[in-house]
């Protein structure tokens, strides 16, 4: 026989001609062969244990439960102007790599995306890019900071280039005009979330200086990059970005980051929860409950926080790549991968 190329699990009446039967699946969680058996969990532990000391798969966090956050109140934010199809400006910084997926998600939701490449080869090109971005923000209803590794996440941490660029007074004024005078929205995913939180846009709703008392995103507890699907639960709908979601909705979302651990002083975390600003939590896909175990919480975030709103909900930052969704994406991952954040943003402007 030729070596097998595909291992498939099928019903008894669906086995194709020429297939070789390897065995039968059971509910017991064991592999049995010729009278001997071994538990799947035991075998997985042996398999992972070979290199556990070199490439750890568990940072040692306890699989302790975390309170489930549920905030039912809807955001009072409304769009008071008239617009046909809402426009979204998507700036591309050196190292950004999710702009195409983000633009596709916008189009699918009925949002017209505009991608603007920030050029940094010369000081003049950088100034021209700042002027162009300020103009683009002025003709847009939302601004979306996509994922990537801006500036190669160097030196010493992520999003520094984006943060420095958007602290340009002209761009700061443009962002504040969008959010505070034109009823606009802002979204940051992964690297974009890192920029939002270091600018102060989440959780404060404005670009401001930050210090050690402010929340931040830091290195994953496991000490390296995590790239996989996680389950997240909607904890609050206190934002226009959640108009099409309900508290308790669970989604399977792709993540890919090395600095996604949300940390803040305990009193700040409690205040965010009390204000309905904790948007989403990492949860166990089987129970729907948050847990600090790495199988649920990939980075060790406090309170299993995956996403955060500004006080009025207009600004939303999250680590998970909601834009990486489609009919042929993650076909082998069970669960609901469609999270209607972009659709909610479009609906807000109707």
Residues carrying an active site annotation:
190, 321, 323
CB-side neighbour CA atoms (13 Å) of 165: 29
CB 252 within 8 A of CB 332: no
- CB distance 264 to 271 below 8 Å: no
**CB neighbour list of residue 261: distance below 8 Å, 6 or more residues apart:** 217, 218, 219, 220, 221, 299, 300, 301, 302
With residues binned 3-state (H G I as helix, E B as strand, rest as coil), the percentages for the chain, rounded to 5, are: 30, 20, 50
Q: 190 in the Ramachandran plot: left (φ > 0), alpha (ψ -120 to 50) or beta?
A: left
Whether 159 and 177 have beta carbons less than 8 Å apart is answered as: no
Q: In angstroms, how far is CA 70 from the centroid of its own chain? A: 19
Contact status, residue 250 vs residue 283, Cβ threshold 8 Å? yes
| 172, 207 Cβ separation under 8 angstroms | yes
List the beta bridge partners of residue 254. 229, 321
d(CA 283, CA 5): 35
Strand duo 142-145 + 87-92: pairing: parallel
Q: Is 260 left (phi over 0), alpha (psi -120 to 50) or beta?
A: alpha
How far, CA to CA in Å, does 338 sit from each of 3, 100, 151, 237, 287?
37, 18, 30, 16, 19
């Amino acid at each position: 026989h030729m070596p097998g190329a595909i291992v498939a699990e099928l019903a008894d009446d669906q086995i194709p001609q020429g297939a070789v039967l390897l065995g039968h699946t059971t509910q017991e969680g064991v592999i049995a062969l010729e009278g001997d058996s071994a538990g799947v969990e035991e075998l997985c532990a042996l398999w992972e244990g070979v290199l556990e000391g070199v490439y750890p798969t568990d940072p040692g966090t306890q699989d302790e439960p975390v309170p489930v956050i549920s905030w039912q109140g809807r955001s009072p934010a409304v769009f008071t102007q008239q617009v046909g199809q809402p426009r979204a400006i998507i700036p591309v910084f050196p190292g950004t790599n999710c702009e195409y997926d983000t633009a596709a998600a916008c189009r699918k939701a009925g949002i017209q995306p505009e991608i603007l490449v920030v050029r940094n080869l010369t000081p003049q090109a950088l100034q021209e890019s700042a002027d162009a971005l300020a103009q683009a923000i002025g003709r847009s209803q939302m601004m979306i900071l996509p994922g990537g590794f801006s500036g190669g996440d160097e030196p010493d941490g992520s999003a520094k280039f984006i943060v420095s660029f958007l602290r340009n007074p002209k761009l700061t004024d443009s962002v504040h005009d969008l959010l505070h005078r034109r009823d606009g929205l802002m979204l940051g995913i992964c690297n974009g979330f890192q920029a939002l939180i270091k600018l102060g846009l989440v959780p404060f709703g404005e670009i401001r200086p930050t210090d050690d008392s402010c929340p931040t995103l830091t290195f994953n507890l496991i000490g390296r990059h995590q790239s996989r699907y996680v389950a997240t639960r909607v904890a609050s709908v206190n934002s226009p970005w959640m108009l099409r979601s309900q508290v308790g909705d669970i989604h399977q979302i792709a993540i890919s980051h090395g600095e996604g651990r949300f940390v803040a002083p305990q009193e700040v975390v409690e205040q965010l929860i009390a204000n309905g600003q904790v948007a989403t939590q990492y949860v166990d896909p089987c129970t729907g409950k948050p847990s600090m175990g790495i199988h649920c919480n990939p980075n060790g975030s406090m309170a299993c926080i995956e996403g955060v709103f500004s006080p009025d909900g207009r600004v939303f930052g999250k680590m998970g790549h909601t834009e990486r969704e489609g009919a042929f994406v993650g076909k082998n991952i069970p669960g609901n991968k469609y999270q209607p954040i972009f659709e909610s943003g479009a609906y807000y402007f109707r």
